[in-house]
A and B are shown apart, each in its own frame.
Chain A
Amino acid sequence: MIPDDRLYTEQHEWLRLEDGEAVLGITDFAQRELGDVVFVDMPPPGQAFAAGLEIGAIESVKAVAEIYTPVGGTVEATNSQLEDAPELVNEDPYGEGWLVRLRLEGEAPGDLMTAAEYEALLAAG
């Protein structure tokens, strides 16, 4: 179901915090809403983003979803597997379909949801 080793945003993104770094991805709900992902546009390593800024985009056949980073940081790595296999975002959104790894700058904001809170948000529709 919804992994409880990470935090969630209202924009249906997940964030896994580890050792001053954050890995960002989209949730299973988000990938289903988006449909077949055909292109993932993420910034090159070294680029810095403040919390709340647009960091990239995921394009499905029919739509574009902008991705906003809920935390400030510098891009450490992007998921190079997605260049040839963007469908990993659909197939394994919480695992192989991760998007970007950031080196955190500052604290993670307090308004992120736990898995249980995110599940409640989905249940509330």
Chain B
Amino acid sequence: MKRVERTVLYRRHVESGARFGPFAGYEMPIQYEGVLAEHRAVRERVGMFDVSHMGEVRVQGPRAVSLLQGLTPNDVAALKPGRAQYSALLTERGTFIDDLLVYCLDPEDYLLVVNAASRARDLELLGAAAASVGPGVRIDDQSDATALVAVQGPRAVEIVSEVVGPEAAELRYYSFIHQDEALHQDGLGRIVSRTGYTGEDGFEIYTSVERADDLWMELLEQGRDSGLAPAGLGARDTLRLEAGMMLCGQDIDGETTPIEAGLSWMVKWKKGDFVGRDALARQRRDGCRHRLLGFEVLGRGIARHGHLLAVSGRPGCGGPVTSGAFAPTLGRAIGIARVDCGAGGVPEPGSAASVEVRGREIPCRIVELPFYRRPKV
């Protein structure tokens, strides 16, 4: 049995009254005050998450771009330093091994941020690809040396720019600043990135494990007057689901392609060959049978992972719920299901459906993703 890891901020979570649970081999804070309160804090004010379990893999060298171009469906060559993109590692069948962020630190220096559960497999795959390329690319797993703190919510920008500098407020979505490189030549330095997994404005801050505690305490202190509270993986899950963001290993996995998941935009056809391209091109041409679709529950009940959704009037059209929860911001239950559309095409938003919960059919409706969009300022 692999031992259970703890992040460097574990002691702070205990002090804050966290309740822990296992997640991808880590003992992670699931909630502090309560999932609903933390969810609302992020939507209305600001919340702070320790997501140091995420993996950070550095890919460097003159051949880094060509290696990543061949392994990921998004266009790495289009990334300028200071910009990040959402992408994936796919199988030859075009299905997900992992979803990830690619940060361009420099045209010969990239950072991949990967899921904890898939990190070992990602590294194996990257290592094998690097070996076949030969010299000219170096893969360095910096996960254990790196902590990651996400500050999310409408007031995140006030707090983060006080702590890391006013330039944070100037960052566009999916842009980042890279600080303190000289202090950590072997590590990452500090990356302040305007990204997140909640559907709110916010930042993700990567720093060395040595400096994580100071950063966490500084953010807590700075955020006191803004109502900043630590938030756990429970709220992170309801926030990301409302925002229509996929969870790898649950919504998207080795049976799902980006096209089926509604993530076709991450596939860049003009950039040349990459793993999974042929399979995706076939789906693009012929259409795909399975789709990940959002639905909301109209009746009394909550659809959960594994329950079955059926589209009304379409025998055989339906499939398992991949994520389902009560959506605190919307005040009703929502979910994502992997729907086998059969020959009748993808059910339109608004289509009636039902989900079976504890032996009862509960009425639902197919809706477009995301369920929640933050109000424009």
Q: Which residues of A contact B (CB under 8 A)?
A: 35-36, 38-39, 41, 57, 59-62, 64, 83
Contact indicator B35/A61 (Cβ below 8 Å)? yes
Contact indicator B325/A61 (Cβ below 8 Å)? yes
Asked whether B177 is an interface residue with its Cβ less than 8 Å from the other chain, the reply is no
Q: Which 7 A-B pairs have CB atoms at the shortest separation, nearest pair first?
A: A38-B326, A61-B35, A36-B36, A62-B234, A36-B34, A59-B302, A39-B302
A31–B234 CA distance with the chains assembled, in angstroms? 16
Query: Min CB distance, B39 to chain A, in Å?
Result: 8
Query: Min CB distance, A99 to chain B, in Å?
Result: 15
Contact indicator A57/B300 (Cβ below 8 Å)? no
Known: A35-B234, A39-B326, A41-B358. A62 touches B35 (CB 8 A): yes
A59–B326 CA distance with the chains assembled, in angstroms? 9
Contact indicator A39/B36 (Cβ below 8 Å)? no
Chain B residues within an 8 Å CB radius of A38: 36, 302, 326, 328
- Jot down 7 A-B pairs with beta carbons below 8 A, ordered by A: A35-B35, A36-B35, A38-B328, A39-B326, A59-B326, A61-B326, A62-B30
Closest to A59 in B: B302
Segment 195-251 of B: residues with Cβ below 8 Å from A: 234, 237-238
Contact indicator B301/A61 (Cβ below 8 Å)? no
Chain A residues within an 8 Å CB radius of B328: 38, 61
Q: Which residues of B contact A (CB under 8 A)?
A: 30-31, 34-37, 39, 234, 237-238, 300-302, 304, 325-326, 328, 333, 358
Count A-B pairs with CB separation below 8 Å: 41
Consensus secondary structure, chain B interface: mixed
**Highest count of chain B CB atoms <10 Å: which of A36, A41, A59:** A36
A38–B301 CA distance with the chains assembled, in angstroms? 10
Choose from B31, B35, B37, B301 the contact partner of A39 (Cβ within 8 Å).
B301
Closest to A36 in B: B36
Chain B residues within an 8 Å CB radius of A57: 358
Known: A62-B30, A62-B35, A62-B234. A39 touches B300 (CB 8 A): yes
Chain B residues within an 8 Å CB radius of A36: 34-37
Choose from B234, B300, B358 the contact partner of A61 (Cβ within 8 Å).
B234
Contact indicator B300/A35 (Cβ below 8 Å)? no
Query: Min CB distance, B12 to chain A, in Å?
Result: 21
Closest to B232 in A: A62
Closest to A62 in B: B234
Query: Min CB distance, A36 to chain B, in Å?
Result: 4
Query: Min CB distance, A96 to chain B, in Å?
Result: 18
A15–B326 CA distance with the chains assembled, in angstroms? 28
A59–B39 CA distance with the chains assembled, in angstroms? 17
Query: Min CB distance, A73 to chain B, in Å?
Result: 20
A60–B238 CA distance with the chains assembled, in angstroms? 12
Chain B residues within an 8 Å CB radius of A35: 31, 34-35, 234
Closest to B333 in A: A39
Closest to B297 in A: A39
Chain A residues within an 8 Å CB radius of B35: 35-36, 60-62
A60–B30 CA distance with the chains assembled, in angstroms? 13
Chain A residues within an 8 Å CB radius of B36: 36, 38, 61
